[in-house]
């Protein structure tokens, strides 16, 4: 192998590989892709079998020239970009640029950057994988066809600078759909009843009511809850059933890319992008003092759960040497890949058990150490014995009512001695069951009632997506691939289609608008099932079971028809003008709602003679002027003067008209200083007191003036009957959590009428 050239992707790998090879090897880096489709044009010859036109990137011309020079001086050329589709494309493009007569170019794959792996790959080089390259080209062409033809349409209809993507737009739709679920969700009241009981043996224990007359307990209001309390207070509690069983909890498998991103988000609060960039550094190599640069983990873009025999033997020896014998199962534990998973690489694991996290901590950055320790612990845990629990369930009968207590005691920690999975939040409003220690009781034993409690609860809407749960959703729906999740999450935020706030994704007004337009005009492309089927087709191309041209034709012909129709029929948001009752203070012409580069705004209808503009007073512009109207009856609590509506960098607020002498302000929606309650003649259906109008995070509503003794609430009617046939409900003004106003029937969910447009009584 004298005078050999190895070309890798990342400059960081160069030093790691050079350490293991002699002076006969010249190691160079391409620094990512060297060729791409041109930015200034489509770059796809649709009429000629979708032939792509690749160009050497301007920033890589010097790199390519240096690689050509190095190739001319080499006897053997090995292309070693990352072992995935993108890496294969890089290898093909480099081969096209440096190829010469009498030069044999071979492909080598490094699953990890350790000396045995590198030497084995060089001793068993491969041919370039045409099918894998075809799969990458197909994906690139599909993304270009969609992005370069949908984006100009959005520029024309909404505003310049917008983008649409085959996968990113579907991800935004998932976030918008969840927001719609939350918006339409109507909380339902329910009550939990818990009894604290004491048997012959300590300790006392809590049991929750689960059944009434043999059916699941459903307590919808406080009146019924109080009736039950009065009944059970004078009824004996008797142990009806006691069940004890041993429960085993098996360890989780080693990390795939998506599971690594999810767990790093839950445990370490890392974004998907940060997880992948940190993992990339651990894979490429970290300086470990005298040992030099060492690759610490295997390739981090994988959806396989496979573990090599060598790694399996090493981790089992580690467990045997560092834990009691009871922690090591008699046989190695193997995990089955999910359907459709690519098995080209192993799971994400440490390259060697010799590099223990705590022993090399001083060589790592804090982020590198935390992620490496997470990967290490998960890998070790996957080959340990299950955790064992003694689980006890006690059913207590009280007349027609059945209470249940559950508890568990850990008999053997097993894999939990080193690793436990992070938990996603519970969105159903129920508290997670706390593991409790229960006393020794026997069937038929009488118990003493110590206390009885009832708790009012409300069902909760599904939670917004965190980075971890959105990655899981994309994975479960088959949207994208492990290597793309981090880029998808970054792109939708960079394009301002969604924002991450307190760890949760909120769609922006722009994201909701663009999604509505695309779903209406391109339902096929925005369909999650269709997008998932495209990923399957790309996998089939990589496996040699399908052809690039067939896949592109099947996609493009219907797409062109949708595009033609959309150019004609799609709403032109740029040209829309919605009239308002607001009068321009400069020329007295009415103001209209328009859409601009920064979203909705009010402009004078006398444009261009008058160029006056102002912010709208509601996020969707439907109720411009609403806050100004509301302020007529609102007086400053400090000086008694009228409050006026203003808008600052943090949104709408009320300020005293006596400014600067009085600097009092109020929040418009909720908060410690929210709008005062307005009394009404409507009587509370529970306590017969007057209801008052309040403003909450979801808009106006009626609340009992007897709060907190009475917590009854009612929708605030606009005095307009629901237009749905046979419906007796009223239209109520509501608001999403992002502040967007909409109008819906008071009888939801029996009637699901809703609209963004303010109804008119006619």
Lowest mean pLDDT segment, chosen from 83-97, 485-499, 713-727: 713-727
Domain-ending residue, one of 128, 163, 197: 128
For range 171-193, the mean pLDDT:
93
Coil vs helix vs strand at 506: strand
Instruction: Indicate the average pLDDT of the chain.
Output: 87
pLDDT score at 696: 65
Q: Name the most confidently modeled range: 5-19, 151-165, 312-326.
A: 312-326
Q: In Å, what is the CA distance from 557 to each residue of 169, 554, 700?
A: 20, 6, 49
Domain-ending residue, one of 128, 156, 176: 128
Burial (CB count <10 Å: 0-12, 13-18, 19+), residue 534: buried
Q: Is residue 612 one of the residues assigned to a domain?
A: no
Whether omega before 397 lies within 30 degrees of 0, making that bond cis, reads no
Q: Is residue 687 one of the residues assigned to a domain?
A: no
In the structure encoding, which two tokens stand for residue 629, read together? 């109207």
pLDDT digit string, tens, across residues 483-504: 889 999 999 999 899 999 888 9
pLDDT digit string, tens, across residues 260-273: 999 999 999 999 99
- The answer to whether residues 101 and 114 belong to one domain is yes
Q: Pick the closest to residue 185 from 504, 458, 517, 431 (CA basis).
A: 458
Residue 722 has pLDDT above 90, yes or no: no
Q: CA 136 to CA 143: how far, in whole Å? A: 11
Q: Is residue 590 one of the residues assigned to a domain?
A: no
- Alpha helices, DSSP H, located in 337-466: 366-381
For range 670-693, the mean pLDDT:
68
Q: In Å, what is the CA distance from 245 to each residue of 300, 418, 761?
A: 40, 25, 64
Burial (CB count <10 Å: 0-12, 13-18, 19+), residue 476: exposed
Q: Is residue 600 one of the residues assigned to a domain?
A: no
Q: Is residue 338 one of the residues assigned to a domain?
A: yes
Comparison of pLDDT for 675 and 317, the residue scoring more = 317
Q: Is residue 616 one of the residues assigned to a domain?
A: no
Q: Pick the closest to residue 94 from 13, 4, 6, 11 (CA basis).
A: 6
Contacts of 106 (CB under 8 A, 6+ apart): 76, 77, 78, 79, 125, 126, 127
pLDDT score at 743: 82
- The answer to whether residues 16 and 49 belong to one domain is yes
Coil vs helix vs strand at 233: helix
- The answer to whether residues 332 and 421 belong to one domain is no
Q: CA 281 to CA 12: how far, in whole Å? A: 8
- The answer to whether residues 87 and 9 belong to one domain is yes
Cβ 631 vs Cβ 646: under 8 Å:
no
Banded pLDDT at 550 (limits 50, 70, 90):
very high
Comparison of pLDDT for 599 and 125, the residue scoring more = 125
pLDDT digit string, tens, across residues 359-387: 999 999 999 999 999 999 999 999 999 99
pLDDT score at 676: 55
CB atoms within 10 A of CB 289: 9
Q: Name the most confidently modeled range: 278-292, 420-434, 722-736.
A: 278-292
Comparison of pLDDT for 671 and 278, the residue scoring more = 278
pLDDT digit string, tens, across residues 197-237: 999 998 999 999 999 999 999 999 999 999 999 999 999 99
- The answer to whether residues 356 and 430 belong to one domain is no
For range 504-513, the mean pLDDT:
93
Q: CA 574 to CA 154: how far, in whole Å? A: 10
Cβ 536 vs Cβ 133: under 8 Å:
no
Banded pLDDT at 419 (limits 50, 70, 90):
very high
Residue 572 has pLDDT above 80, yes or no: yes
Q: CA 596 to CA 158: how far, in whole Å? A: 8
pLDDT score at 678: 65
- The answer to whether residues 19 and 100 belong to one domain is yes
Cβ 13 vs Cβ 285: under 8 Å:
yes
pLDDT score at 340: 63
Cβ 720 vs Cβ 710: under 8 Å:
no
- The answer to whether residues 180 and 193 belong to one domain is no
Give backbone dihedrals phi and psi of 34, rounded to 5 degrees, phi first: -110, -20
In the structure encoding, which two tokens stand for residue 113, read together? 């950057």
Task: Report the number of distinct structural domains present in the chain.
Answer: 5
pLDDT digit string, tens, across residues 458-491: 999 999 999 999 999 999 998 988 888 999 999 9
What residues make up the domain containing 44? 4-128
CB atoms within 10 A of CB 205: 23
- The answer to whether residues 35 and 72 belong to one domain is yes
CA atoms within 13 A on the CB side of 129: 27
The DSSP secondary-structure symbol of 348 reads B
Residue 636 has pLDDT above 70, yes or no: yes
Cβ 264 vs Cβ 279: under 8 Å:
no
Q: CA 701 to CA 293: how far, in whole Å? A: 64
For range 240-247, the mean pLDDT:
95
Q: Is residue 710 one of the residues assigned to a domain?
A: no
Cβ 744 vs Cβ 734: under 8 Å:
yes
Lowest mean pLDDT segment, chosen from 7-11, 228-232, 615-619: 615-619
Banded pLDDT at 343 (limits 50, 70, 90):
low
Banded pLDDT at 760 (limits 50, 70, 90):
confident
Cβ 173 vs Cβ 526: under 8 Å:
yes
Q: Which percentage of the chain shows pLDDT scores above 70? A: 90
Catalytic annotation, residues = 299
pLDDT digit string, tens, across residues 387-404: 999 999 999 999 999 999
pLDDT score at 19: 87
Q: Is residue 577 one of the residues assigned to a domain?
A: no
For range 633-661, the mean pLDDT:
69
Banded pLDDT at 614 (limits 50, 70, 90):
confident
Give backbone dihedrals phi and psi of 497, rounded to 5 degrees, phi first: -90, -20
- Return the C-alpha torsion angle 748, 754, 758, 761, nearest 10: -60
Contacts of 34 (CB under 8 A, 6+ apart): 56, 57, 60, 63, 64, 67, 90, 93, 94, 97
In the structure encoding, which two tokens stand for residue 392, read together? 């006890």
Residue 432 has pLDDT above 60, yes or no: no
Cβ 723 vs Cβ 743: under 8 Å:
no
Q: What is the CATH number of the domain that holds 31?
A: 3.40.50.140
Q: What is the CATH number of the domain that holds 219?
A: 2.70.20.10
Burial (CB count <10 Å: 0-12, 13-18, 19+), residue 192: middle
CA 323 to chain centroid, in Å, comes to 37
Residue 541 has pLDDT above 60, yes or no: yes
Lowest mean pLDDT segment, chosen from 163-172, 217-226, 336-345, 625-634: 625-634
pLDDT score at 701: 77
- The answer to whether residues 232 and 273 belong to one domain is no
**Cα dihedral sign, 47-35-80-271:** negative
Banded pLDDT at 145 (limits 50, 70, 90):
very high
pLDDT score at 736: 67
pLDDT score at 333: 93
Banded pLDDT at 101 (limits 50, 70, 90):
low
Q: Given 3-state DSSP classes, what are the helix, strand and coil percentages for the chain, each rounded to the nearest 5?
A: 35, 25, 40
Q: In Å, what is the CA distance from 258 to each residue of 182, 460, 474, 500?
A: 26, 27, 9, 19
pLDDT score at 630: 41
Lowest mean pLDDT segment, chosen from 13-17, 502-506, 562-566, 735-739: 735-739
- The answer to whether residues 393 and 470 belong to one domain is no
- The answer to whether residues 487 and 373 belong to one domain is no
Q: What is the CATH number of the domain that holds 532?
A: 1.10.460.10
For range 63-76, the mean pLDDT:
92
Comparison of pLDDT for 581 and 653, the residue scoring more = 581
Q: What is the DSSP string of 51-108?
A: EE--EE-GGGHHHHHHHHHHHHT-SEEEEE--SSHHHHHHHHHHHHHH--TT--EEE-
CB atoms within 10 A of CB 197: 25
Q: CA 600 to CA 573: how far, in whole Å? A: 10
Coil vs helix vs strand at 118: helix
- The answer to whether residues 358 and 305 belong to one domain is yes
Domain-ending residue, one of 428, 458, 488: 458
């Amino acid at each position: 192998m004298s005078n050999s050239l190895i070309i890798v992707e990342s400059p960081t790998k160069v030093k790691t590989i050079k350490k293991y090879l002699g002076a006969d090897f010249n190691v160079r880096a391409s620094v990512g892709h060297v060729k791409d489709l041109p930015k200034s044009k489509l770059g796809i010859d649709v009429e000629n079998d979708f032939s792509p036109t690749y160009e050497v990137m301007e920033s890589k011309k010097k790199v390519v020239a240096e690689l050509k020079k190095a190739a001319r001086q080499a006897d053997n050329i090995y292309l070693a970009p990352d072992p995935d589709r993108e890496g294969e494309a890089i290898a093909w493009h480099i081969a096209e640029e440096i190829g010469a007569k009498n030069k044999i170019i071979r492909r080598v794959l490094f699953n990890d950057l350790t000396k045995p792996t590198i030497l084995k790959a060089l001793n068993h080089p491969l041919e370039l994988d045409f099918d894998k390259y075809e799969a990458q080209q197909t994906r690139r062409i599909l993304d270009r066809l969609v992005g370069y033809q949908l984006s100009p349409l959005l520029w024309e209809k909404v505003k310049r600078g917008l983008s649409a993507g085959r996968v990113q737009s579907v991800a935004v739709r998932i976030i918008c759909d969840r927001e719609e679920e939350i918006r339409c969700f109507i909380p339902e009241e329910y009550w939990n009843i818990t009894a604290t009981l004491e048997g012959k043996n300590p300790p006392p224990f809590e049991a929750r009511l689960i059944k009434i007359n043999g059916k699941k307990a459903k307590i919808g209001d406080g009146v019924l809850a109080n009736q039950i309390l009065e009944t059970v207070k004078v009824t004996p509690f008797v142990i009806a059933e006691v069940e004890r069983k041993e429960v085993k909890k098996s360890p989780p498998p080693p990390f795939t890319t998506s599971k690594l991103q999810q767990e790093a988000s839950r445990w370490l609060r890392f974004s998907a992008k940060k997880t992948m960039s940190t993992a990339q550094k651990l894979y490429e190599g970290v300086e470990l003092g005298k040992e030099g640069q060492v690759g610490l983990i295997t390739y981090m873009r994988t959806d396989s759960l496979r573990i090599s025999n060598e790694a399996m033997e090493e981790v089992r020896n580690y467990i045997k040497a560092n834990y009691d014998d009871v922690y090591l199962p008699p046989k190695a534990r193997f995990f089955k890949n999910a359907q459709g998973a690519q098995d080209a690489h192993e799971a994400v694991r440490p390259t060697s058990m010799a590099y223990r996290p705590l022993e090399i901590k001083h060589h790592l950055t804090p982020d590198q150490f935390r992620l490496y320790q997470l990967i290490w612990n998960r890998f070790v845990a996957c080959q340990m014995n299950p955790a064992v629990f003694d689980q006890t369930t006690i059913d207590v009968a009280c007349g027609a009512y059945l209470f249940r207590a559950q508890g568990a005691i850990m008999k053997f920690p097993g894999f939990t001695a080193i690793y436990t999975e992070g938990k996603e939040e519970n969105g159903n409003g129920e508290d997670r069951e706390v593991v409790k220690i229960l006393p020794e009781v026997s069937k038929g034993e009488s118990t003493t009632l110590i206390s009885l409690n009832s708790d009012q609860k409300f069902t909760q809407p599904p939670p917004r997506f965190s980075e971890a749960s959105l990655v899981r959703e994309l994975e479960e729906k088959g949207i994208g691939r492990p290597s793309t999740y981090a880029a998808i999450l970054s792109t939708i935020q960079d394009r301002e289609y969604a924002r991450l706030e307190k760890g949760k994704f909120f769609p922006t007004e722009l994201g909701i608008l663009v999604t509505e337009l695309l779903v209406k005009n391109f339902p096929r492309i925005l369909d999650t099932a269709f997008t998932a089927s495209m990923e399957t087709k790309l996998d089939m191309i990589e496996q040699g079971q399908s052809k690039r041209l067939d896949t592109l034709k099947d996609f493009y012909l219907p797409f062109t028809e949708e595009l033609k129709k959309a150019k004609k029929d799609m709403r032109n948001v740029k040209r829309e003008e919605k009239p308002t009752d607001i009068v321009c203070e400069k020329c007295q012409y009415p103001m209209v709602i328009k859409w601009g580069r920064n979203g909705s705004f009010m402009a004078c209808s006398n444009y261009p003679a008058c160029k006056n503009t102002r912010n709208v007073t509601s996020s969707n512009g439907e109720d411009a002027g609403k806050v100004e109207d509301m302020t007529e009856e609102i007086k400053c609590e400090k000086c008694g003067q009228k409050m006026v509506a203003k808008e600052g960098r943090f949104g709408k607020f009320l300020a005293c008209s006596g400014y600067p002498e009085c600097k009092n302000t109020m929040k418009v929606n909720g908060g410690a200083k929210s709008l005062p309650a307005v009394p009404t003649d409507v009587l509370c259906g529970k306590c017969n007191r007057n209801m008052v109008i309040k403003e909450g995070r979801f808009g106006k509503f009626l609340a009992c003036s007897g709060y907190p003794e009475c917590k009854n609430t009612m929708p605030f009617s606009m005095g307009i009957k629901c237009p749905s046939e046979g419906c007796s409900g009223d239209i109520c003004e509501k608001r999403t959590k992002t502040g967007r106003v909409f109008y819906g029937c008071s009888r939801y969910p029996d009637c699901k009428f809703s609209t963004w447009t303010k109804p008119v009584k006619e």
